[in-house]
Structure 1
Amino acid sequence: MRLLSPRGWSLSLKLPVTITAVVAGVALTIGLAVLVQERARIRAELEERALLTARAVAATAVEPMLRSDYWTLYKSLVSMASGGEASGEDLVVTGMVLDSAGRVLAHLDPAANPLGLPLSLAEPEDRLWLAAVLRQDRPAISPGRRGKSDYVEALAPVLANDAPLGLVILRLSTQDLQARTVAAGLTILGLTAALAAIGSGLGTLISGRMVRPLRELAAGMESVGRGELHGLPPLTAHDRDEIGQVIDTFNRMAAELAEKKKLEQALATSEKLAALGRIAAGVAHEVNNPLAGMLNCLDTLKKRPDDASLHGRYLPLIERGLNRIQAIVHALLVELRTEGDESWDTGACLDDVRDLLQSEIGARPIRLIWDNAIGPDLCIPCRRVQQVVLNLLKNAIQAIPDSGMVIFRAYGGAGREVVLEVEDDGVGIAADALTHLFDPFYTSRPTGTGLGLWITYRLVESMRGVIEVESEPEKGSLFRVRLPAYATAPATAWGAA
């Protein structure tokens, strides 16, 4: 059924068909108009011929009718019908000369219509016709039909000193008119078919010139849509028409997009290097502080190795410094471990995090509400999402000074999307701190490393998701993460995309 709908046709088919239809329609319309005019002209010519012949017979019939010379009248009728304007056996249907009473004075078929007798008419409508034509006082022409044959009837009164003597009736067949009309119609159909064939050929040629660059343009757009900008050859504009202008514009756009992509890649590389520099500087700063303290402690212990009181004083400081360095290194390694993992599973894998949180809460009066409503039809990268949820929940627990409540919600959003929400009723976040919340090494807690939320942000970004924060001081915070989800594990890893 699609082939019957022009909307499903390609342009290479639409254009030839449209041009062919237009050419054929115009040719057929003009041909029909010419045919109608030609038929009218031939009919007028036939009517004029019949009327001239009838009037010629009427002009020569006056004296024979006054002398009752019916033989001369008959010869005049035969002569005019066969050798005059209305010549040809197939053309003349019948001819007659009647007196004013309707009696036959001459007839081309004398055997069926004897002289001196009324015209033989069997049908009532024929008798009505005769009564009407006998009252005719001037030449007239009218169409008629007998059986399956059409004819033109000419009437010419015979007058002597303006007194009516009789009437000449001549009928000419329209067979020649029909034959010439059919011949003209066949000629018009032939010309229409020839013009349609020419139009189809021209349409195919024009559509080929139009569709070829459009197909190249469509292929180029598909390449651009797939991000294949490098190595894309510029399209060739064969003409300087609108299609050529579109192709030139596309070439410029593709070149600009390729240049933009190169700049973005260079900028991304620069940003990565800058971020790496900031991280390295932060790591150096965060590690150097406990290292400086530990070196001072070790220097003091070296100078006074026999002082047992210094051991109990400085060894715990050294241990705390080493633990802080270990925490910083561990936090940095978390992102690397999760980046390399592509373990895909349903949302049920998040329930493993709930057990880990119980040890984090311990004996503190904190209530954990867990609502995991991700259906089995959605697939997520478990290790990364687990790490994001764990970091956010730890951050929420640490934001509660004494007793409180932490709520975790996970559900499928609009389309194929997973929404993760972590809400607490802790101390909240100040407005000026929200802008730096995901910066590396930014923390408001003395024991914090400032890397947890930064790593969470990086993990969400690596999964092509977004993270949102709503918070008011002393009223708590809400972290919302939106991640794309799939029915099955994608063929291309996010980290490699």
Structure 2
Amino acid sequence: MKILLTRIHSLSFKFLVIISIIVAGVGFTISAAVIFQDWFRFREVLEEKALLLARSIAVLAPDAILQNDSWSLHKNLRKMASRTPGGMRDIRILSGMILDPDGHILAHLDPANHPIGLKLAPSTPLEKDIFKTSIETLKARVIHGGDWISDPFVEGIVPVYSDLKKIGVVRLRLSTAELYAQARRSAFTVLGIISILVLIGSAFGALLSRRMIRPLTALADGMGSIGRGDFSKLPPPADKRKKDEIGQLTRAFTQMYLQLEDKKRMEEEMAANEKMIALGRISAGVAHEVNNPLAGILNCIDTLKKHPDDRALVDRYLPVIEKGLHRIRQIVAGLLGELRVEEIDDFSGPACLDDLWELAVIEIGDKPIQLNWDNRLTNDVVLNRQRIQQVVLNLLKNSFQVLQDHGTVDFRAFQDGNCLVLEVEDNGPGITEENRVRLFDPFFTTRADGTGLGLWITYRLVRSMKGNIDIISEPGSGTMVQVFLPARQDSPEPQHDWVI
């Protein structure tokens, strides 16, 4: 069913339907025009033949009427009625008569039922109207009667004159059933021919639709592949002989496709190179940061091996060794982001951030630093409490570490629509543009005692919550760090993720 609906909504199907409707509409319009033209032509021919026969009889009637020669009138009537001029073989004469001006029968093709000398007595309203018309008419005319079922007819009425005086009237009635049948046969023939032409036109339309839509379908598939990031399906090459808009579009798309494929290949190569560079930088940083305390530890161990019995050296170097090992442990733990961070989203409200106030004050200690706390978060939002707190603490600690005497740190938290905004601003020395672009690189630090992992871990935590982090700073103007986190207010869903 889905495939059928897809086919129905496809452009090729619509194009085929439109072409079929146009061809069928034009075909049946032409058929109707031809049928009606034939119908009126048959009707005119029949009218002409009815008048021709009636006039032929009327030409011979005056002398016989004046002489009251009923036999001659009857003979002339039968003689003319028996003749079939060209094209008259399919015409059947229903009745013929000659009447005097008062409606008395002078001659009739059916004298047994219509005796001569009696006045014609029509039995139906139609016949009465025709009788009245024939008596009153002063010129030749044609009357139609009957219908498709009850033997339709056309009747020619021609007055008979002698010395400009009407002395009688000739009535000759012809059946139109045969001509109607001929018109129907002609109509069926025309409809059959038009139907065949419609089928041929529809088949041609289907072929034309396929030829026109196929390049567009290939373009649509190619665009879909590009949207999915799949550059393996190259669209068929455009026919250079096609100069129309579809050919131009296909060639332009193919060129764009190849350019995007080259661009993607270059981006993949650059990404791979960047990964290798980053890996090398991390490896170098790890080696540098670990080798420094490790060298001191090895020196201490070498000295103790030379003087194993010197208690003073043991008491002196054991704390150094322990401190160096703790330093290495701190570097490894920071690098791995404590290996696993629970991705458990829960309702985090204002208290989630206010709980950090005392920890921040303890971190400040005796330093002359003023901490301004502005938590405007009023509603509970669904976020990872542990990660938010770690991000805020890392940013606050970073500001505390760079401040000189009498520094100020401002913390602000508020909700902007569906976004939780965290801001940490200090009036420290600021950051140069050269250092600002490298702040989130692992092991990059401007402090002698720093590991360069704090902001890197913070960045990874923010990105793991699908947020963004921005740093606004200039040398001598302080620094403001802004964190934007998507926050929702529906029920939390527990998950797990690895942050490295």
Does the CA-based 8 Å contact 1:6-1:14 persist in structure 2? no
TM-score scaled to structure 2, two decimals?
A: 0.73
Give the alignment of 1:20-419 within 5 angstroms: 20-85=20-85, 91-123=92-124, 126-127=127-128, 129-145=130-146, 148-229=150-231, 231-233=232-234, 235-237=236-238, 240-241=241-242, 242-274=245-277, 330=330, 333-337=333-337, 341=340, 343-348=342-347, 358-362=358-362, 369=375, 373-375=380-382, 387-395=390-398, 406-408=411-413, 413=418, 419=419
Q: Unaligned 5+ residue runs, structure 1?
A: 298-310, 414-418
Q: How far is the alpha carbon of 1:32 from its aligned partner?
A: 1.0
Distance 1:245 1:187, change over 3 A: same
Does the CA-based 8 Å contact 1:95-1:170 persist in structure 2? yes
TM-score scaled to structure 1, two decimals?
A: 0.74
Deviations 1:239-269 (A, max 9, x none): 8544454444333323222221222223234
Amino acid at match of 1:452: G
Q: Percent identity?
A: 37
Q: Which moved more, 1:162-171 or 1:191-200?
A: 191-200
Distance 1:371 1:162, change over 3 A: closer
Deviations 1:32-61 (A, max 9, x none): 111111111111111111110000000111
Does the CA-based 8 Å contact 1:467-1:479 persist in structure 2? yes
Tell me what 2:311 maps to. none
Amino acid at match of 1:159: Y
Distance 1:396 1:78, change over 3 A: farther
Does the CA-based 8 Å contact 2:395-2:424 persist in structure 1? no
SS at match of 1:200: helix
Tell me how far apart the structure 2 counterparts of residues 261 and 155 of structure 1 sit (CA, whole Å): 93
Q: How far is the alpha carbon of 1:288 from its aligned partner?
A: 9.7
Q: How far is the alpha carbon of 1:406 from its aligned partner?
A: 3.8
Does the CA-based 8 Å contact 1:396-1:422 persist in structure 2? no
Does the CA-based 8 Å contact 2:154-2:174 persist in structure 1? yes
Q: Which moved more, 1:455-464 or 1:323-332?
A: 323-332
Q: How far is the alpha carbon of 1:96 from its aligned partner?
A: 1.1
Q: Which moved more, 1:172-181 or 1:474-483?
A: 474-483
Q: How far is the alpha carbon of 1:237 from its aligned partner?
A: 4.2
Tell me how far apart the structure 2 counterparts of residues 159 and 3 of structure 1 sit (CA, whole Å): 81
Q: What's the RMSD between the two structures over aligned residues?
A: 5.1
SS at match of 2:381: coil
Tell me how far apart the structure 2 counterparts of residues 151 and 359 of structure 1 sit (CA, whole Å): 114
Q: Does 1:479 align with 2:482?
A: yes
Deviations 1:112-143 (A, max 9, x none): 32211221124566545434332323222232
Amino acid at match of 1:166: G
Amino acid at match of 2:254: N
Q: Unaligned 5+ residue runs, structure 2?
A: 301-313
Does the CA-based 8 Å contact 1:96-1:108 persist in structure 2? yes
SS at match of 2:170: strand
Q: How far is the alpha carbon of 1:226 from its aligned partner?
A: 1.9
SS at match of 2:172: strand
Distance 1:153 1:195, change over 3 A: same
Q: Which moved more, 1:36-45 or 1:86-95?
A: 86-95
Size of the aligned set, in residue pairs, is 474
Distance 1:462 1:406, change over 3 A: closer
Q: How far is the alpha carbon of 1:432 from its aligned partner?
A: 5.5
Q: How far is the alpha carbon of 1:183 from its aligned partner?
A: 0.9
Q: Which moved more, 1:257-266 or 1:357-366?
A: 357-366
Amino acid at match of 1:373: D
Amino acid at match of 2:133: A
Does the CA-based 8 Å contact 2:61-2:160 persist in structure 1? yes
Tell me how far apart the structure 2 counterparts of residues 488 and 194 of structure 1 sit (CA, whole Å): 65
Tell me how far apart the structure 2 counterparts of residues 494 and 129 of structure 1 sit (CA, whole Å): 105
Tell me how far apart the structure 2 counterparts of residues 395 and 235 of structure 1 sit (CA, whole Å): 57
